[in-house]
Amino acid sequence: KAGVTQTPRYLIKTRGQQVTLSCSPISGHRSVSWYQQTPGQGLQFLFEYFSETQRNKGNFPGRFSGRQFSNSRSEMNVSTLELGDSALYLCASSYGTGNNQPQHFGDGTRLSIL
């Protein structure tokens, strides 16, 4: 069974640009969550999507948004990039939500802002 796939693996952007990251969950998984990982703040929850609906959102500005498609694939978008957005962005998938199922993480997209 294929794992969680995130594309691209690496991305370099400049301040003010926008970026879209993609996540394909494990087949059959309907929940996708996004996290930001930085050396200073550690891992922080961005948002969760289940059956195309945003179920929960972390404490991030509105520049961070996401969506989920009918095949459970998810994208997150960051607009007006800032230097502080440089991070590893991780996606996790799970069969359900709030049902004690483990979450499976992809290898992430490393975003660097110049």
**Binding positions for another protein, rule: CB under 8 A:** 4, 31, 33, 35, 42-45, 48, 50, 55-56, 58, 90, 92, 94, 97-98, 100, 102-108
Closer to another protein by CB, 92 or 113: give it.
92
Q: How far is the CB of 16 from another protein (least distance, A)?
A: 28
Q: How far is the CB of 107 from another protein (least distance, A)?
A: 4
Q: How far is the CB of 30 from another protein (least distance, A)?
A: 11
Which amino acid, one-letter code, is at 2? Answer: A
What is the C-alpha to C-alpha distance for residues 75 and 73, in angstroms, rounded to an integer? Answer: 7
For 1, counting Cβ atoms within 10 Å of its Cβ (0-12 exposed, 13-18 middle, 19+ buried), the class is exposed
Q: How far is the CB of 35 from another protein (least distance, A)?
A: 8
Closer to another protein by CB, 75 or 105: give it.
105
Element (H, E) at 55: strand 53-57
∠ CA 49-10-92, nearest 5°, is 25
